Each structure stands twice: as C-alpha cells, then as structure tokens.
Amino acid sequence: MTDIKSLYFEELQQYITENDFPKFRAKQIWDWLNKGVKSFDEMKNLPKNLIDFLQRSCYISVANIEKKLVSSYDKTVKYLFRFNDGEFVESVVMSYKHGYSICVSTQVGCKMGCTFCATGKSGFSRSLTASEILNQIESAQEDLNIRISNIVLMGMGEPLDNFDNVIRFLKLVSDEKGLNIGMRHITLSTCGIVPKIYELAEYKFALTLSVSLHAPNNKIRSKTMPVNNKYPVEVLIKACKDYFSTTGRRVSFEYAMIDKVNDSDENAVELGSLLKGLNCHVNLIPVNNVKGSTYHKSKTDRRQAFIDILSKYGITATVRRTLGSDINASCGQLKRNHLEVKGGE
Ligand code: SAH
Ligand code: SF4
C-alpha cells in the first residue's frame, strides 16, 4: 500500500496519471489530504472508480490523539499520538511571543542510548514516515485551532538516523502548496551522526542544525552518549565547522547541565576552547531528571558561570527556558508513564 501523504505533489500527479486518471485529480486529492481527511470516502469531488482505486492501493496515515496534557503554568500542550499501526509518539506545542512552536518526534524510540534520555532508555521500535512526522503538526494545529510557525525536530528519536524520511518531511512541510513552514523556522537536533551531517549540508537548507554536545571532551561524552565512541568530539566539531562553511548557517549546541558530571569551571573552559572560532551558539539546559537515572540538575549558579566563561572565548550562550515542567514536557517521559500505567508494553 502506498503512503499517499508522504508523496510530493509531483509524485502524486505521476501516480495518478500512470494509473490512467486525469492529472487534475491529483490536485483535488492533494487538497483533501491537506484538509486533514482521514478516509478516501470523504473526497466528495472524486468519481467512484478513483475512490475505489485509492482504497485498494493507498492508505492515509494518521496521528490520532491518544492523550493530551495542558500545563497549568504556561499552556504548553503535550500530545501522545497514535499511528495507524498502534505505535505512539509524543509532541509538544509551546506558545511564545512570536507564535507557536512544535517539537515533533521522528522515530518510535531511539537506538542511540544516551544515558540521560527517557527515549534512549525505552529502546527502539521503528522510524516514522514523512507523513507521520507531518501529521503531528497537522493534528495539533487542528486540535488547538492555531497555526504553528516553528518546528523543532527534538522529540523522540534521532532525525539523522531516519535520514530519507526526514528529508522528505522537510521538503513537504516547507512546500508552499502544503503547510508552508519555511526552513528558517525549522531546527533539526542531532546527537552527532557525522556522515549524515555532511549529507545534510549538501542540501543547503536554511534550517538550524542543533548538535547535542552535552560534554566538552570524549571522556565525559562517551559515558553519557554512546554515539561518541563512533564519532568523537573532534570529528564532530570538524563536521560542524564544515557544515557552516557549506551552508553559511550558524550551528547551535545543546548542553544539558548535569550536577558534578559536566558542569565544573574546568568543563566550561574546555568547552570554550573546543568551540573557539566556530560561529555558533550554546543553549544551556538544566537536565531533566528521568526516572531510574542518577543525574541531577546543576546548581543554578553554574549556568551564569558557564555563560561568563564561554563569553571569554567569544561564544554566546543562553539558558533555555523550561516550559511545561508540570506535564513532563521533555519528550519520552509521557509515553513511558502512559505505557507503565497500561501495563508496560
Ligand atoms: N536525538 C536528537 C533529537 C531528540 S533529543 C538529539 O539527541 O539531539 C532532543 C534534545 O533533548 C537533545 O538535545 C537531547 O540531548 C535532549 N535531552 C534528552 N534527554 C534530556 C534530559 N533528560 N534533560 C535535558 N535534555 C535532554
Ligand atoms: Fe536518542 Fe536524542 Fe535521546 Fe540520545 S538524546 S537517546 S539521540 S533521542
């Protein structure tokens, strides 16, 4: 069965004409899909033989709301979405002065096994299709009756471990005939799969690449992020420099501050010298405590200490605002709790 919502408009046209239906039908189908219909029966202006053909050969992928939590502090909304095959992922909608932003998932689980991450702890099930990533945005927009203006690929999963589907998603979501959210409003976060960073650079998208660094050296990074054994810090930083040269886009680094693990003055000095000369920005994040983990948030004064030390190396750093702390808004946590309540699937 063809995942019809993952097709580009031109591919849909080709599919329709190859199967002996007139080209203009593709536009009609495309419009219905963009309106969020969930079955071919709802495509009222199509002839019966075309609906029959579509039902036999294609399916419409969905992201149905299984659970929804609204933060009472700041109106952050967290969804647990259910796909056609019953798998779940999480998405979070945040409201900022300049509009709504959504954090979407790219895989059910993750293979990368970072020790501080709830998703990493829950294992890997499968990658999402382009339409499943897209549907998280569509379903949230429809439910909240809003238009989302910014997307971060920072939910469950490693986007660069699902490269082709993520590229397809990026092209579909930025298509002016589709959701039309421009690349400048999209951030892709990666744990640092170096060859894929080079591959992504070749597309020269105007998105922001955000690299989850979380440590200033290989010793600490390899302990918390197994991917570092394959692509160590110096190789990763070189890839970021090359990414900037190829795309002209400033790279951001995520640094989750963990008490007594990566937050000393020496760690900040090391981070400063590592990143010196690279056109970048550092987001400092207080690590979220995940069930079953021994990591704790750094003391609050450590953030300013990092900002001050990094600035001596010419590097700007800011503290990421935490939203939705009462609803476990960091991805991976809701699904884990939901499945535990249901009996731990
Ligand atoms: N796999 C990608 C994107 C999803 S994770 C990546 O790792 O970048 C999104 C972000 O959340 C990453 O920066 C990740 O390191 C961070 N993260 C995961 N668990 C966290 C936790 N317990 N506290 C703070 N940040 C966390
Ligand atoms: Fe995967 Fe990112 Fe979590 Fe690491 S931090 S386990 S790469 S989702």
CATH number of the domain located at residue range(s) 64-344 in this protein: 3.20.20.70
Q: Is the CB of 211 under 6 A from ligand 2?
A: no
Contact 190, 161 (CB under 8 A): no
The predicted model gives 203-219 an average pLDDT of: 98
Pocket test for ligand 2, best of 105, 107, 112, 166 (most atoms within 8 A of CB): 112
pLDDT value at 52 more than 70: yes
3-state SS of 102-119 is: EECCCEEECCCCCCCCHH
pLDDT digits (tens, 9 = 90+) for 76-127: 999 999 999 999 999 999 998 889 999 999 999 999 999 999 888 889 999 9
Q: Note the pLDDT of residue 72.
A: 85
Q: Which residue has the tokens 């970048």?
A: 280
Helices marked H in the chain — which ranges? Answer: 9-18, 24-35, 48-57, 118-121, 130-144, 163-174, 194-203, 218-224, 227-230, 233-247, 265-275, 301-312, 333-342
- Written as six digits, the tokens of 9 are 């408009």
The predicted model gives 203-232 an average pLDDT of: 98
pLDDT digits (tens, 9 = 90+) for 285-335: 988 887 778 899 999 999 999 999 999 999 999 997 766 767 666 655 555
As a residue count, the chain comes to 345
Of 109 and 72, the one with more pLDDT = 109
Over the chain, what is the mean pLDDT?
Answer: 93
Q: Where in the chain is the domain with CATH 1.10.150.530?
A: 2-59
pLDDT value at 53 more than 90: yes
Q: Residue 344: which pLDDT band, with cuts at 50, 70 and 90? A: very low
Give the CATH number of domain 2-59; options: 3.30.565.10, 3.30.2350.10, 1.10.150.530, 3.40.50.300. Answer: 1.10.150.530
How would you class 164 by CB atoms within 10 Å of its CB: exposed for 0-12, middle for 13-18, buried for 19 or more?
exposed
Pocket test for ligand 1, best of 94, 189, 322 (most atoms within 8 A of CB): 189
Q: Rounded to whole angstroms, how far apart are CA atoms 2 and 47?
A: 20
Q: Where in the chain is the domain with CATH 3.20.20.70?
A: 64-344
* DSSP codes of every residue in 187-243: EEEES--HHHHHHHHHHT-SSEEEEE---SSHHHHHHH-THHHHS-HHHHHHHHHHH
Q: Rounded to whole angstroms, how far apart are CA atoms 183 and 172?
A: 11
Q: Note the pLDDT of residue 341.
A: 53
pLDDT value at 199 more than 70: yes
Which amino acid residue places its CA nearest to atom 7 of ligand 1? 191
The predicted model gives 136-156 an average pLDDT of: 97
pLDDT value at 186 more than 70: yes
Name 4's Cβ contacts closer than 8 Å, sequence gap at least 6: 12, 29, 33, 54, 58, 59, 60, 131
Q: Note the pLDDT of residue 332.
A: 57
